[in-house]
Amino acid sequence: MKEFEILEHTADIGIAAYGKTKREVFINIARGMFEIIAGGNKISKENLRENFYDKIKLEADNLEGLLFAWLNELLYISETKLVILSKFKIKELSDYHIEAEVGGAKINPPSVKIEKEIKAVTYHRLEIKKDEKSGLWSAQIIFDI
């Protein structure tokens, strides 16, 4: 199963992410977002020395809102702490609440740099759902670039 794929949109860019569980789809969509930010370079241990950690606790009114809040919080951390995140450990997850530990590398060009700035996550075509037949989860998001 693919973790995620990049979607084309005239002015912007999106991601479709997949997972066996809700937790997995939250992690995969975050991975996809940072792959865009890092410019399509696979984020791996070889080119990224982990030297940043943070804890996240978020709440929302529904699952879509939580996905929106999750990705926005990761963007906020990336932009204000100047880091590329690559590790996402979700401690707790419901439709309204998420608690996670995230890790990554501080930006240090040329090895660790931001290739693309994502201005924001949009609600346009935002979707997260479980396929009742296969039991698999998928999510879709469009970013403002």
Partner 1 sequence: MKQLWDGPLNKIDDYRWEIPKTYNSGMRVPGLIYASSNLLEKIRQGQAMEQVANVAFLPGIVGHSLAMPDIHWGYGFAIGGVAATTLDDGVISPGGIGFDVNCGIRLLRTNLTLKEVKPKIELLVNELFRAIPSGVGSKGKIKLSYNEIRDVLRRGSRWAVERGFGWEEDILFTEEEGCMKDANPDLVSKHAMERGKPQLGTLGSGNHFLEVQVIDKVYDPEVARELGLEEGQITVMIHCGSRGLGHQVCTDYLVTMQKAVQKYGIQLPDRQLACAPLSSPEGKNYYAAMACAANYAWANRQCIMHWTREVFAKVFRSTPEELGLKLIYDVAHNIAKIEEHSLKGKKIKLCVHRKGATRAFPPFHPDIPKKYKKIGQPVLIPGDMGRCSYCLVGTEKAMEETFGSTCHGAGRIMSRMKAKKEARGRDIQQELKEKGIIVKAESRGTLVEEMSDAYKDVSEVVEVMHQTGISRKVVRMRPLGVIKG
Binding positions for partner 1, rule: CB under 8 A: 6-13, 39, 60-61, 64-65, 68-69, 72, 76, 79-80, 82, 107, 114-117, 119-126, 142, 144-145
Q: Which is nearer to partner 1, 92 or 145 (CB)?
A: 145
Least distance between partner 1 and beta carbon 62 (Å): 9
Q: Which is nearer to partner 1, 38 or 90 (CB)?
A: 38
Least distance between partner 1 and beta carbon 116 (Å): 6
Least distance between partner 1 and beta carbon 135 (Å): 26
Q: Which is nearer to partner 1, 41 or 133 (CB)?
A: 41
Least distance between partner 1 and beta carbon 110 (Å): 11
On whether the CB atoms of residues 126 and 64 are closer than 8 A, the answer is: yes
On whether the CB atoms of residues 80 and 39 are closer than 8 A, the answer is: no
Reduce the secondary structure of the chain to three states and give it as a string. Answer: CCCEEEEECCCCEEEEEEECCHHHHHHHHHHHHHHHHCCCCCCCCCCCCCCEEEEEEEECCCHHHHHHHHHHHHHHHHHHHCEEEEEEEEEEECCCEEEEEEEEEECECCCECCCCCCCEECCCCCEEEECCCCCCEEEEEEEEC
Q: Which is nearer to partner 1, 97 or 119 (CB)?
A: 119
Q: Which is nearer to partner 1, 6 or 20 (CB)?
A: 6
Least distance between partner 1 and beta carbon 141 (Å): 10
